[in-house]
Amino acid sequence: MIRVNNLFLRYTREFYALYNINMEIEDNEKVAFIGEDESGKTSLLRIFSKLEKLTKGEVFIKEIPLDKLNYKTDLSAGYVPASPVFLEKKSVYENFKYVLKNWGFDDNEIESKINSVIIEYSLEKIKDTKIKELTLEEKYILSLIRLTFRELDLLMVDNIFDKVSETTKEVALSIIKKLAGKKTTLIVATTKEEIANRLCKRKLYFKYGSLVDSLA
């Protein structure tokens, strides 16, 4: 699924956010990136998501070079960043409708899919609420729910667990497990070993932009 060769990401001449990263992640594998803030794990997810451009090295996803990869046609991927992205002045319903239309669903499918998640996740009270009026925790959950509209080959979840309640954590974990299933490659970036243990079978540790054997 993902192969990384000698990857570097440099923001200034002196500062490398990522330094000589090499890794392979198999299809359907569940992998945790563990490290403190600024350790490089988010930067690598942003590179995989094509939101950040690497300085040097190679990344292949499904054997396609990252710069040639088209996430609309080559691969179905979902990314949940630590800072959720929505149309802030639009309602929950309008945001769901926007992404479904963008993904090519027709009006009947859009209506059916939205009504289904509203019922499943008890969103009746907030479906007409503008995103800007919601809490960060609510936005995290909606970011995950939004991805349930389609089958994913690759799911990437950034560090969303540090400042959420126990209730939100459990809801988020439940949705991630549902999204990941058996056929989806999952990468979760986290500072917490507990989150890694509950979602993933393999752990990769990051420190000062490099892969290390452990954080001890």
What does 94-120 look like in DSSP terms, one character per residue?
A: HHHHHHHHHTT--HHHHHHHHHHHHHH
Residue 201's pLDDT is 95
Mean pLDDT of 178-193: 95
Query: Is 145 a domain residue?
Result: yes
Q: Is residue 46 part of a domain?
A: no
Of the candidates 16, 89, 101, 3, the one whose C-alpha atom is nearest the C-alpha of residue 56 is 16
Report pLDDT for 15.
85
If we measure between CA atoms, which residue out of 202, 187, 99 comes closest to residue 143?
99
Average model confidence (pLDDT) across the chain: 95
Question: What's the pLDDT band for 156 if we cut at 50, 70, 90?
Answer: very high
Does residue 134 fall inside a structural domain? yes
Residue with token string 């088209």: 70
Is 131 inside any structural domain? yes
Q: Are 199 and 207 in contact (CB under 8 A)?
A: no
> Taking 80 as the threshold, does the pLDDT of residue 109 lie above it?
yes
* 126 domain residue, yes or no: yes
Look at residue 197 in the predicted model and tell me its pLDDT. 97
For the segment 110-154, what is each residue's pLDDT rounded down to a tens digit? 999 999 999 999 999 999 999 999 999 999 999 999 999 999 999
Structurally, how many domains does the chain consist of? 1
Confidence of residue 105 (pLDDT cuts 50, 70, 90): very high
pTM: 0.93
User: Residue 162: inside a domain, yes or no?
Assistant: no
Strand partners, 154: 77, 185
Q: Does the pLDDT at position 170 exceed 80?
A: yes
Segment among 2-6, 56-60, 99-103, 140-144 with least mean pLDDT: 99-103
Instruction: Identify the pLDDT of residue 163.
Output: 85
Question: Mean pLDDT over residues 167-174, rounded?
Answer: 96
Does 37 reside within a domain? Answer: no
Least confident segment among 8-17, 23-32, 40-49, 146-155:
8-17
12 in any annotated domain: no
Parent domain of 93 = 86-150
Q: H-helix or E-strand containing 194?
A: helix 193-199
What pLDDT does 182 receive? 85
Q: What is the pLDDT of residue 33?
A: 98
